[in-house]
Amino acid sequence: MRLILQMLLVAGLTFAGLVHAQAIEPLPFKNHAEEVRFQHLTGQLRCLVCQNESLADSNAELARDLRLDVFQQMQHGKSDAQIKQYLVARYSDFVLYDPPLKPDTWLLWFGPLLILLGGAVVVAVAIRKRNRDGVPVETPPIDNGDDW
Amino acid sequence: MNRLLPFFGFMLLVALFGFGIWWNTQHDPRDVPSPLINKPAPAFNLPRLDDPMQTVSKASLLGKPYLLNVFASWCVACAEEHPTLMADGSKLGILLLGYNYKDDPNDAKNWLREHGNPYGEVITDRSGRTAIDFGVYGAPESFLIDAKGVIRYKHIGPLTPEVIARKLLPAIAALKKEAP
């Protein structure tokens, strides 16, 4: 009985190893630099299927196809910008993790700054009002008896 | 007044969150708007499902509008969409072109035999290479392509009777109107 269990376990582990080996698709990189460039580029691109994963990380079928596509374009000597342009033309800016700066995205880029400015205005108005009212602000005693 | 300020701030937040929830019930946040709308459809030349020796190309379809519907036998949402196509496909008044995406031709044939075939013609893209040109990222997807080969409308996800009545049929009617 024990022997059978052990054999099953070994078989299972071997099979798991095989499945895992199939999951990694070895792309025939010419050299290490090319591989680094590929990893860097696919890390900046979003997988359309699992939208919180990059092309590099995703195991989705489409991500695999797109990785192959990116790889082949690299082989044809396309630059990173050209490859990105190619994908943006098909899948819109959404494929880029970094949204480009253009009129459509001004609010996205500068919105936080606007909110900060808005807050600053509110604070400035409040301070000025307090100063004009001239009421010396009585600071409450720090020790108000609360025993924390 | 000043004492009510935190309350108004709270209500503002409630309104914002409520709007967000409402917005997400109206829109699928996973939808990626296609940059190809009102642009020429990518050129394609793909084998027919019933006769792989023959191909259908974008050029051969010019002259009449058609609805390209991406489907696959492995796609669960396509099976969900299928009864709608069976019922309303003929109401469209244009060619319903099936685009069999990354599928085994035999699986696709069996699937169509089992569920019925609403398509005027079916082309196959087994590698999914041409689908990348179309910006397909999940089946089912439907592209309305006009007589000049320009993509006029795209629907991501299953077509429902409601989508057909409210979006697709008006878009098709608009095409018919502008045709000479």
- Say yes or no to pLDDT of A145 above 80: no
pLDDT mean across residues, chain B:
92
Place of tokens 């020429």: B40
Cis peptide upstream of residue B170 (ω within 30 degrees of 0): no
Residues B57-88: tens digit of each pLDDT: 999 999 999 999 999 999 999 999 999 999 99
pLDDT mean across residues, chain A:
82
- Say yes or no to pLDDT of A24 above 60: no
d(CA A88, CA B162): 30
d(CA A47, CA A64): 10
Residue of A51, A65, A94 lying closest to B132 (CB–CB)? A65
Cβ contact, residue pair A91, B33, below 8 Å: no
Of the residues B12, B16, B32, B141, the best mutation for testing chain A's interface (the one with the most A CB atoms within 10 Å of its CB) is B32
Confidence of residue A143 (pLDDT cuts 50, 70, 90): low
B130 lies within 8 A of chain A by CB: no
Of the residues B137, B143, B151, the best mutation for testing chain A's interface (the one with the most A CB atoms within 10 Å of its CB) is B137
Strands B55-57 and B45-47: antiparallel
Q: Give me the total of CB pairs closer than 8 Å, taking one residue from chain A and one from chain B.
A: 37
